[in-house]
Amino acid sequence: MNAEFLAFSILSVFAIGGAVFFLNAGKVMHMAIALAFTFFSLAGIYLLLQAEFLAVVQVLVYAGGISILMIFGIMLTKPEEGAPSRSFQYHQWISLATVTGFFVIIMTIIYQTPILTPAGKETSASVKSIGSILFKNYAIPFELASILLLVALIGAIVLARKEQK
Amino acid sequence: MREMVMHLSPEWILLVGIALVLIGEILLHKDSSRSMLGIIAILTVLGSGTLLILQGKEVITLFDGSYTSDPFIRSIKGLLVAGTLFVLLLSWTEKIVAKGEYYLLVLAALLGAMSLISSSDLIFLFVSLELLSLSAYVLVGMQQDRLVSSEAAWKYVIYGGASSAFLLYGMSFFYGLSGTTNLTKISGNLAVAYVNGYELFLYLGFVLLLVGIGFKLAAVPFHMWAPDVYQGAPTTVTTFLAIVSKIAGFIFALRLISMLFASGGLQSILHSMVVPSLLILSMLSMIFGNVTALKQHHLKRMLAYSSIGHAGYMLVAVISILLDKQESSLSSLYYYFVAYLLASAGTFATIHVIAKDRSPDRKVLSGLYKRSPGLAFSLSVFLLSLAGIPFTAGFIGKFTILVSAFGNSMYWLTGTMLLTTVISYFYYFRVIRQMYWQEDEDVSQVTMHWSIGIVITFSLIGTFFFGIMPNVLLQNLSNWIG
């Protein structure tokens, strides 16, 4: 039981707890905050895995950007607060069974295969090398991603704006 | 650098078109007509097609092999360009508030589709696929005054998002096992992992991948979104989904699966797992799609189920290609694409004209023969081609697929294909009967815009031409690829 394991346990409990709260919260605002919690804990887990760059990006983009954007979205629109139905209907049982089955299958497969040999102490990829790969080998996907964001932006505006007559 | 610009020119020009449409939309007055932007979009797509032809037979690989473009891929891109041209021509009369954005999204979706079939890298594949899907989600929901349109967009986003997640999860297993995202290198590394006891991960990865691909292709049992989306989307967007999205999706699936399992060490997985699971998908799609189409009254819904059936036929061709890797199987798939493109474009164009603002159930077609014999005739030809009656392109398409499936001794599959083709005759002929032998309560004349006339004429000529003289296309294609 070393410090790393302790940190991992705490972070993963926070991550899963955030996700569960997200699903169960009645108010949209609570959901957004629960989600931000999950994002933060995931960033911590990345840090433990020595992926510092990924951790920083996770905090900047997800925990920072996305959560703030969601909170803005909630404040600018009027979410309808309906009491969620608590009773379990039959299709929910079916989904539960399917999801549990899927989880069990994946877990069995993961535990049945030989564990990879622990990676040696590699110097983690620096921001410089990430940048050079991103703009050399992956230049096209990078540019396409910018078009993707443009399409997402325009699409959101088109779908969200009111009919102007 | 200059060379790279030339190699990527069919894609670059679409980017230029997107920028021009965007600027035009900003400059134009709020109430002025958007037909100018439509012309820009059409010219861009035409330019992209010209540049494709200019590239000739050259085999292009860029960025460490992550971008490839060979004559076959280029011929598929030609189909995508042709399909998008049809869609843009039909869009001329589509009632959409945000017309400028509409053209932009169509161009962006074409860009996604074209880079999707050129990419040989998992990251590149995924980004292109998302560009195509995201544009399609928005396009489906653009008629905001119709509630079904918004509903369709919502369902499409949810199903599409879930399928992307499955796809990505599957890809992550393959990346983890091989340590590379490059499809040309991945297969050899996977074979090493297979020997070293990681075969369960390979199976799991493939199953996840199959779920994602199945959703994108609308193959049974992952087809639930298709009928609602086809029905709810504006007819032009339905045409886009049925033609461009579908063709790009099939080529994506074919390239991904064939490149992942290309190396000699993985042939046992290909034969024991990959081909059988595709077989099941294909059989289920053919049977379920065609049988459910029998019960449909709404025309677009019926065509959605029929396109699920057609996805089954195309999967037969994909399996043949995976098994024998021969040029003849490739050209049979290509021929089917051509036939399906022409017939679907024609059918949707005709429905677009006839139904106008009404919801197109079978009744709108009653007595069409008396109102407009030309339209009734061309719709009959398109439906016959979809059904696969001799002297239409659809017949030759189905025939070549059957021949290559027989060549690989897949007798069960060919049997199912023949049987479901016969079943499909029922609903196609029922529509034709409605046009010729049902009395009509509504005697209004059908007026047609010239742009739709072009699409219908081209599809009609193509359907007949390729149905009577299939060798013209088949021979040119084998010269081109070979």
B205 versus B33: which is more confidently predicted?
A: B205
Q: How far apart are CA A159 and CA B358, in angstroms?
A: 23
Kindly identify which residue of chain B lies nearest to residue A161, measuring between CA atoms. B144
For residues B452 and B57, the model is more confident at B452
**Which residues on chain B are in Cβ contact (under 8 Å) with A147?**
15, 18, 108, 111, 131
Q: According to the per-residue pLDDT averaged within each range, which of A99-103, B373-377, B434-438 is highest? A: A99-103
Rounded-to-integer distance, Cα B407 and Cα B381, Å:
30
Q: Does the pLDDT of residue B476 top 60, yes or no?
A: yes
Res. B442 pLDDT band, cuts 50 70 90: low
Best of A113, A132, A142, A165 to mutate (most B CBs within 10 Å, chain B): A113
User: By percentage, how much of chain A surpasses pLDDT 70?
Assistant: 84
B134/A contact by beta carbon, under 8 A: yes
One-letter identity of residue B249: G
Across the interface, of A145, A155, A163, the residue whose CB is closest to B127 is A145
Q: What is the band of B482 on the pLDDT scale with cuts at 50, 70, 90?
A: low
Facing A106 at nearest CB: one of B131, B135, B204: B204
Region B23-42: mean pLDDT is 83
Contacts of B101 in chain A (CB under 8 A): 154-155, 157-158
Residue B445: pLDDT band with limits 50, 70, 90: low
The answer to whether the CB atoms of A159 and B144 lie below 8 A apart is: yes
For chain A, domain boundaries: 1-80, 126-165
Nearest to A155 among B119, B138, B197 (CB): B138
Could you tell me where the DSSP H helices lie in chain A?
Answer: 3-24, 28-48, 52-57, 67-76, 90-112, 127-136, 139-160
- Of B212, B191, B211, B213, nearest to B202 by C-alpha is B191
Nearest to A141 among B8, B123, B138 (CB): B123
pLDDT the model gives residue A165: 45
Q: Which of A147, A150, A153, A164 to mutate to test the interface with B (most CBs of B within 10 A)?
A: A147
User: Quick one: closest CA in B to A109, which residue?
Assistant: B200
Number of Cβ within a 10 Å radius of residue B158: 12
What is the predicted pLDDT for the residue at B436? 82
Report yes or no: B104 at the A interface, CB cutoff 8 Å: yes
In CATH, the number for domain A1-80 is 1.20.120.1200
Identify the band that residue B137 occupies on the pLDDT scale cut at 50, 70 and 90.
Answer: very high
Tokens for A94? Answer: 């079916």
Note the maximum CA span of chain B: 73
A144 near B CB under 8 A = yes
**What's the pLDDT at A135?**
84
Nearest to B446 by CA among B347, B344, B356, B362: B356
pLDDT band at B166 (very low <50, low <70, confident <90, very high): very high
What pLDDT was estimated at residue A122?
57
What is the distance in angstroms between the Cα of B63 and the nearest Cα belonging to chain A? 5
How far is the C-alpha of B178 from the C-alpha of B182, rounded, in Å?
10
pLDDT value of residue A119: 56
Kindly tell me if the per-residue pLDDT of A92 is higher than 90. no
Contact of B15 with chain A, judged by CB distance below 8 Å, is answered with yes
Tokens of B403: 């021949």
8 Å CB contact of B134 and A112: no
What residues of chain A, 94 to 113, have a C-beta less than 8 Å from chain B?
105-106, 109, 112-113
What percentage of chain B exceeds 90 in pLDDT?
18
Arithmetic mean of pLDDT, A54-79: 82
Residues in chain B: 482
How far apart (Å, rounded) are the C-alpha atoms in residues B19 and B389?
A: 44
Tell me what the mean pLDDT of segment B383-405 comes to. 86
Residue among B191, B196, B171 nearest B182 (CA)? B171
Q: Are B84 and B77 in contact (CB under 8 A)?
A: no
Average pLDDT for chain B: 85
Whether B481 contacts B327, CB under 8 Å: yes
pLDDT band at B81 (very low <50, low <70, confident <90, very high): very high
Q: Which of B88-97, B422-431, B471-480 has the lowest mean pLDDT?
A: B471-480
Q: Which of A105, A144, A154 is opposite residue B104, by nearest beta carbon?
A: A154
SS (H, E, C) chain B: CHHHHHHCHHHHHHHHHHHHHHHHHHHCCCCCCCHHHHHHHHHHHHHHHHHHHHCCCCCEEECCCCEEECHHHHHHHHHHHHHHHHHHHHHCCCCCCCHHHHHHHHHHHHHHHHHHHHECEHHHHHHHHHHHHHHHHHHHCCCCCCHHHHHHHHHHHHHHHHHHHHHHHHHHHHHHHHCCCEHHHHHHHHHHHHHCCCHHHHHHHHHHHHHHHHHHHCCCCCCCHHHHHHHHCCHHHHHHHHHHHHHHHHHHHHHHHHHHCCCHHHHHHHHHHHHHHHHHHHHHHHHHHHHHHCCCCEHHHHHHHHHHHHHHHHHHHHHHHHHHCCHHHHHHHHHHHHHHHHHHHHHHHHHHHHHCCCCCEHHHHCCHHHHCHHHHHHHHHHHHHHHCCCCCHHHHHHHHHHHHHHHCCCHHHHHHHHHHHHHHHHHHHHHHHHHHHCCCCCCCCCCCCHHHHHHHHHHHHHHHHHHHCHHHHHHHHHHHHC
Q: Cis omega before residue B470 (within 30°)?
A: no
Average pLDDT over residues B158-183: 89
Q: Is the separation of the CB atoms in B225 and B94 below 8 Å?
A: no
Contact B108, A124 (CB under 8 A): no
B151 touching chain A per CB within 8 A:
no
Confidence grade of residue B165 (pLDDT, cut at 50, 70, 90): very high
How many C-beta atoms lie closer than 10 Å to residue A79's C-beta? 12
CA distance B99 to B28: 12
Q: Which of B167-176, B368-377, B391-400, B457-466 is the least confident region?
A: B368-377
Alpha carbons B116 and B108: distance in angstroms, whole number: 12
Confidence of residue B223 (pLDDT cuts 50, 70, 90): confident
User: Confidence class of residue B134 from pLDDT cuts 50, 70 and 90?
Assistant: very high
DSSP class of A40: H
| Minimum mean pLDDT range among A31-35, A161-165, B154-158, B214-218 | A161-165
